[in-house]
C-alpha cells in the first residue's frame, strides 16, 4: 500500500507570495493533519480535516489555511509568505481521527 505522498517536495518562494501544498493520504484514510516542523519550534500542529471539514486548528495566523476534498486529498495554503514560514510542512493521515497517524516525507518550503 502506498504511503502518504506530498507534492512538491521542495519549494522556494519570496516574501509576500502565496503557496499551495498538496497531500494524498494512504488509500482508505479519511483523516488528514498538517504540521509545521522548524529547528526552533519543533513539530507544531496546524490543522486537521475529516470528511472535508476542519475539525481542529492550531495556533497559527489566518494566513495558513487548508481544505480537504471528497477523495480525502488535502491542500494547505499559506498567503503573504514571511521569512519565518520557512519550514518542513508535514502531512499525516489516519483511518479515522483517533487512529494512528502516518506521516509523509514533507514539503521543504524556503522563503527568501
Partner 1 sequence: QQQVKQSPQSLIVQKGGISIINCAYENTAFDYFPWYQQFPGKGPALLIAIRPDVSEKKEGRFTISFNKSAKQFSLHIMDSQPGDSATYFCAARSGTASKLTFGTGTRLQVTL
Interacting residues toward partner 1 by CB under 8 A: 4, 31, 33, 35, 42-45, 48, 50, 55-56, 58, 90, 92, 94, 97-98, 100-106
Q: How far is the CB of 91 from partner 1 (least distance, A)?
A: 8
Residue 47's beta-bridge partner residues?
A: 34, 57
Q: How far is the CB of 54 from partner 1 (least distance, A)?
A: 11
In the complex with partner 1, which residue's Cβ is closer, 65 or 102? Answer: 102
Q: How far is the CB of 21 from partner 1 (least distance, A)?
A: 13
Q: How far is the CB of 80 from partner 1 (least distance, A)?
A: 25
Q: Strand pairing of 10-13 and 107-111?
A: parallel
Which cell numbers hold the place of 95?
483511518
In the complex with partner 1, which residue's Cβ is closer, 19 or 89? Answer: 89
Ramachandran category for residue 80: left, alpha or beta (phi over 0 → left; psi -120 to 50 → alpha): left
In the complex with partner 1, which residue's Cβ is closer, 36 or 78? Answer: 36
Residue 89 CA, chain-centre distance (Å), reads 6
In the complex with partner 1, which residue's Cβ is closer, 65 or 80? Answer: 65
Number of alpha carbons in the 13 Å side-chain half-sphere of residue 60: 25
Question: What is residue 41's DSSP assignment?
Answer: T
Amino acid at each position: 500500500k502506498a504511503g502518504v505522498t506530498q507534492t512538491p517536495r521542495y519549494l522556494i518562494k519570496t516574501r509576500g507570495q502565496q503557496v499551495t501544498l498538496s497531500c494524498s493520504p494512504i488509500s482508505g484514510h479519511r483523516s488528514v493533519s498538517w504540521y509545521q516542523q522548524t529547528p526552533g519550534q519543533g513539530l507544531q500542529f496546524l490543522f486537521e480535516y475529516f470528511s472535508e471539514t476542519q475539525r481542529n486548528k492550531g495556533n497559527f495566523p489566518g494566513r495558513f489555511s487548508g481544505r480537504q476534498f471528497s477523495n480525502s486529498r488535502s491542500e494547505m495554503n499559506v498567503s503573504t509568505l514571511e521569512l519565518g514560514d520557512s519550514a518542513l510542512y508535514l502531512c499525516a493521515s489516519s483511518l479515522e481521527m483517533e487512529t494512528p497517524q502516518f506521516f509523509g516525507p514533507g514539503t521543504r518550503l524556503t522563503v527568501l
